[in-house]
Amino acid sequence: VNPGANWRNGVNWQLAEALQHPRTIKTHLPLELMPKDLLNTAKVVYVCRNPRDCIISWLHHNRLMKGTSFTGTLDEFIDIFIKENWLHAPYSTHINTAWKVRDNPNLLFLFYEDLKADIMGQLKKMNNFLGTNRTEEQLKNVASHSSFSEMRKRSYESQGLKVGQASDRYNKEVHDKDGGFFRKGETGDWKEKLTAAHIATIDRYVQDKLPEIP
């Protein structure tokens, strides 16, 4: 909800209600679970990620967090993912719902890969969409502040931890071996993790469930 907020001060809804306007609210919820008049009353920036990378990142997250502590194999996780039998599923419905309204003037549909390839270009696009009128220098500061290294550092500091120190919410063995909440922040990591069979399985899922997404 708020990058500087402490969840101990209240649940997300309470924190959102307490924010001063204009406010920024981050959520993983699909559009169908948001207020029905959302696109008439707010600006929405929707970010979509390559499902191959999404699977690798989500697998790490579920292994890392004690709340889930997934101990299965990559094969098993891919099977769960494509059958959409996991938290925040169905993934395809989430994306397709936003894609169908991508031409709404109050929704900006972005791809994570474009943010990584051209952060300044994408920030300028958001600046125009939101009407925030930031200068070039201010956008450079935003790019720096939202870089992977800076966000990773703040994720530890916000918990009162040294950078690289495992939180008590994490499985320490996974954290120390594979990284914390902010693992890599890269695109194309799937190339090092997925076999040809994995890729074929995921691509069939994409062709079936996400045929319109480029």
pLDDT category, 1, cuts 50, 70, 90?
very low
pLDDT in tens, 57-115: 999 999 999 988 999 999 999 999 999 988 777 999 999 999 999 999 999 999 999 99
Please state, rounded to an integer, the average pLDDT across all residues of the chain. 91
DSSP state of 170: B
Instruction: Indicate which CATH number applies to the domain containing 43.
Output: 3.40.50.300
pLDDT category, 150, cuts 50, 70, 90?
very high
Give the mean model confidence (pLDDT) for residues 4-16: 66
pLDDT in tens, 18-31: 888 888 888 889 99
**In angstroms, rounded to a whole number, what is the distance separating the alpha carbons of residues 87 and 185?**
21
Is residue 11 within 8 Å of residue 17, measured between CB atoms? no
Q: Assess if residue 129 is contained within a domain.
A: yes
Per the listing, tokens 């209240």 go with 10
Range of the domain at 107: 35-209
Question: What pLDDT is attached to residue 195?
Answer: 98
**In angstroms, rounded to a whole number, what is the distance separating the alpha carbons of residues 132 and 138?**
11
Give the mean model confidence (pLDDT) for residues 30-53: 96
Q: Assess if residue 149 is contained within a domain.
A: yes
Per the listing, tokens 């008590």 go with 168
Give the mean model confidence (pLDDT) for residues 166-170: 89
DSSP state of 7: G
Kindly list the distances between the CA atom of residue 48 and the CA atoms of 74, 115, 192, in Å, as whole numbers in the listed order.
22, 10, 21
Q: Assess if residue 150 is contained within a domain.
A: yes
Tokens of 56: 């690798």
- Is the model's pLDDT at 8 over the cut of 80? no
The conformational region for residue 195 under phi > 0 = left, psi -120 to 50 = alpha, else beta, is beta
Q: Assess if residue 171 is contained within a domain.
A: yes
Q: Assess if residue 20 is contained within a domain.
A: no
pTM of the model: 0.88
As beta bridge partners, residue 110 has 47
Q: Assess if residue 164 is contained within a domain.
A: yes
Is residue 75 within 8 Å of residue 83, measured between CB atoms? no
The conformational region for residue 208 under phi > 0 = left, psi -120 to 50 = alpha, else beta, is alpha
What angle do helix axes 91-100 and 196-209 make, rounded to 10 degrees? 50
Q: Assess if residue 60 is contained within a domain.
A: yes
* Higher local confidence (pLDDT), 98 or 166: 98
Cβ-based neighbours of 110, under 8 Å, separated by 6 or more: 45, 46, 47, 48, 122, 125, 126
How many separate domains does the chain show? 1
Question: What pLDDT is attached to residue 206?
Answer: 97
Q: Assess if residue 11 is contained within a domain.
A: no
